Amino acid sequence: MKVALRQKKLLEMFKYTSGYMTVEYLSKELQVSKRTIHSDLQRLESKGISFEKKPGVGIRLRSAAFEQESADLDPFSPEYRRKQLIKELLFLGKTITYQSFSERFMVSPSSIIADVNHIKKYILNDSCAELIGAENGTLLQGSEAQWQKTMISCNEYLLKNAGLSFREEKGRDLLCEFYNPELVEACYHITSSLREYNIYYVADYYLSNVFNVLLVLVQRLSEHHHHIMEHNEFYSDQIMTLMCYTIAKDLLELVTKNQDITFETSDIYFLSIYLKANRITFKTTATNLGSRFEKIVRDMIDRMSSCANVDLRNDNELYENICLHLIPMIHRLTNNIYVENPMLDEIKKEFRLMFELTWLVVDSLTKELNIAMTEDEVGFLMLHFQNALEKQKKSKRILVVCPNGIATSTLIANRIRGVLPPLDIIEVASLEEVETFEYSNIDFIVSTVPLNVKDVLVVVVSMLLNKKDLEQIEKVYKSKLPLPVESGQNFKNKELEKYLSREHIFFHKGKCTQEEVIQTVCKKLEQDGMVESGFQVSIFERENEGGTDNAFGGALPHGAVSTVKQTCLAVWVNDEPIKWTKYKVKVIVFFALSEKDMKNTKKVLENGFSMIKSKEIIEKLSAAKTKEELITHIAGGINVD
């Protein structure tokens, strides 16, 4: 009898016999020497099999009843081998060889190859780490995100294969073979108590997913592995994932509270992706909030409805989401706890108009609660309003593709913004990146090369994007997608005449500072009865909390609505660039909105942005020599071709 078969037979004899057996009895049954039996027993013990030896009586398996239930402990079973392969490849990150495993488990190399193929089929999907062959053996290779997705897939396989759930103690015992038992229990208790944290509704399936990703993440964090922020999807999609960012941060803080584990922004973002995908939402009713906060939330939604010209008052999901964010946000700001928004720059770039509208909406909130709002918090809050707009299809998604890379695509995108509605989301991508993106949410593609894309409208334009190309884009857009009445102006802002007077246009030659510009303009506006004395203070507060400047050389400072008597704009043009907050600027457009004109907020703000939204426009405006020439450019339209 072969060694492997004999040892397997020996183990089976122990598994199905509850009493003691002597070495002499075993040697007769298997027709080998006592010395061979002792050698086989030692080999089985090296595999983790535990025996109970009683002198003068014999030998039996320790915890025989448990062993009979657990076929996994059989070191000759395929399932046991596969678990060892998973442990060494995935959890220990080792390189293995088929030959060494075949010798270790006393099977042929073809059996190990079959085990590896089984793992590939049931665990390694397209988003997981890749099993590759190297000179010294076989190993797993992939990014941290891919590695963790592989571990998540592995958890699902292990529990499903055993017919167990993470809620069952046996299920958690199984996972403890691969994970730190303390972390398994910590993640279990946190996940199981989610409903106690006022979760709105989470199906068991989703809770299982959250448990898996949380366990994998904290296990890897305990081993000092961290995620890297990757741009493998549209920025607008990545940004909207941040709706669950603060929840993810709270969960990680809870589960790592008594552990020597640190996490980074990228780790919070990874967890937030899974929370959003698994529909983790909270319930917060008027009873929970109290009448004061209920009124604040309703007022915010009313103000945004007026500002954006979209009725959001009956959107219950928006109400719940704002409530969810409001109470923790107030707590953080009151206690000087600051949460960094990892995609603030992208938010300000992709959703600039909505970002500034949100600033105006929360203006009264900061005064009533005596808190200093931050750009990071406004960015988080804006996501809920943007999500509500997208549900109503008020924003369209346009993708700009150029084989010359992101820089060229960005230049084209900035020019397209002049002919499309300001609430539309314009993404840019290189030809290589586009192959990895999902097109299902894209309404419209502008490309400098033909694309083989199905079910999405594609307009091919020249690299220079001339006037004819812009007209073609606008024409196709209007024929295929509904264009809002107030949109589509190619920098023609005749309505600005209602808000911008000659007295509020300032030309300056030579050097000056941000402080000098703000003081001069605000003093004039106050003298003319347009704003109150507090307007200047609110302008400085807004700039200190986060600049209103952009990379094109323009800035759009705006003050508190409560300090404005009459809606107006003011323009400062400097021949030399002024260091503003982050960038050097030459054109500064002051925006003052009164409470009675809230319904015109979006229109007036669009007009303000239209003067600083591209480098070409900034250059045209800063080249104006007289106020009449500047007004002509603004009201009559600027040719930037």
pLDDT band with cut points at 50, 70 and 90 for residue 236: low
Mean pLDDT of 517-538: 95
Q: Is residue 314 part of a domain?
A: yes
* pLDDT band at residue 587 under the 50/70/90 scheme: very high
CATH of the domain at 6: 1.10.10.10
Number of folded domains that form the chain: 5
Q: Is the pLDDT of residue 326 over 50?
A: yes
Q: What is the pLDDT of residue 328?
A: 76
For residue 512, the domain's CATH number is: 3.40.930.10
pLDDT band for 221, please (50, 70, 90 cuts).
very high
Residues 418 and 434 reside in one and the same domain: yes
Question: Does 610 lie in the same domain as 559?
Answer: yes
Least confident of 65-74, 263-272, 535-544: 65-74
Q: How far is CA 40 from the centre of its chain?
A: 54
Residue 349 lies in a domain: yes
Boundary residue ending a domain (333, 359, 392): 392
Average pLDDT, the chain: 81
Q: Which of 88-97, 104-113, 228-237, 483-492 has the lowest mean pLDDT?
A: 483-492
Instruction: Identify the top-confidence range among 195-209, 337-351, 545-559, 623-637.
Output: 545-559
**Which long-range contacts (C-beta less than 8 Å, at least 24 apart) are formed by 46-50?**
47/75, 48/73, 48/75, 49/11, 49/73, 49/75
What is the extent of the structural domain holding 137?
Answer: 78-142
Separation between Cα atoms, residue 369 and residue 335, nearest integer Å: 13
Rg (CA), the chain: 33
Longest dimension (CA), the chain: 113
Residue 618 CB coordination number (10 Å) = 20
Domain boundary among 362, 392, 422: 392
Reported as a pLDDT band with limits 50, 70 and 90, residue 492 is: very low
Average pLDDT over residues 69-75: 52
Q: Which of 574, 555, 556, 557 is nearest to 622 (CA)?
A: 574
Model pLDDT, residue 489: 41
Distance CA 432, CA 444 (A): 18
Say which residue, 66 or 256, is predicted with more confidence.
Answer: 256
Instruction: Flag whether 136 is in a domain.
Output: yes
Domain shared by 358 and 421, yes or no: no
- Between 153 and 250, name the one with better pLDDT: 153
Q: Which of the four pLDDT bands, split at 50, 70 and 90, describes residue 597?
A: confident
Band (pLDDT 50/70/90 cuts) for residue 190 is: confident
100 and 37 both lie in a single domain:
no
**Residue 370 maps to which CATH number?**
1.10.1790.10
Which of 92, 115, 142 is the C-terminal boundary of a domain?
Answer: 142
Do 609 and 522 have their domain in common?
yes
Confidence of residue 147 (pLDDT cuts 50, 70, 90): very high
Predicted structure pTM score: 0.56
Are both 529 and 630 inside the same structural domain?
A: yes
Sign for the CA dihedral angle at 181, 184, 190, 195 comes to: negative
- Do both 624 and 513 map to the same domain? yes
pLDDT in tens, 23-55: 988 888 888 888 888 888 888 887 678 888 888
Confidence of residue 495 (pLDDT cuts 50, 70, 90): low
pLDDT at position 525 is 96
Residue 66 has pLDDT above 60, yes or no: no
Instruction: Summarize the confidence of residues 227-242 as an average pLDDT.
Output: 62
State whether 500 and 620 are in the same domain: yes
Mean pLDDT for 316-320 is 84
Q: Please enumerate in sequence order all residues whose Cβ is within 8 A of that of 535, keeping only pairs 6 or more positions apart, or say none.
A: 522, 525, 526, 559, 560, 563, 564, 592
Is 70's pLDDT higher than 60?
Answer: no
* Mean pLDDT score, 203-212: 77
In the predicted structure, residue 288 carries a pLDDT above the cut 60: no
319 assigned to some structural domain: yes
Confidence of residue 527 (pLDDT cuts 50, 70, 90): very high
Total number of residues shown for the chain: 641
Which strand (E) or helix (H) includes residue 180?
A: none
Structural domain includes residue 412 = yes
**The pLDDT value given to residue 640:** 38
Are the CB atoms for 517 and 572 separated by under 8 Å? yes
> 459 vs 578, which has greater pLDDT?
578
Are 27 and 91 members of one domain? no
User: How confident is the model at residue 443, as a pLDDT?
Assistant: 79
In a domain, 422, yes or no: yes
Residue 566 counted as domain residue: yes
Q: Band the pLDDT of 478: cuts 50, 70, 90.
A: confident
- Quick check: is 83 in a domain? yes
Q: Rounded to whole angstroms, how far apart are CA atoms 164 and 155?
A: 11
pLDDT score of 391 more than 80: no
Which pLDDT does position 629 carry in this prediction?
87
- Specify the 3-state DSSP secondary structure of 252: helix
pLDDT digits (tens, 9 = 90+) for 466-476: 778 888 888 77
Q: Are residues 448 and 572 in the same domain?
A: no
Tens digit of each residue's pLDDT (9 = 90 or more) over 347-371: 887 788 888 888 888 876 777 777 8
The predicted model gives 515-519 an average pLDDT of 96
Same domain, 96 and 59: no
pLDDT for the residue numbered 366: 76
Residue 164 structure tokens: 């167990």
**Could you tell me if 620 and 498 lie in one domain?**
yes
Q: Poorest-confidence range of 63-72, 85-94, 387-396?
A: 63-72
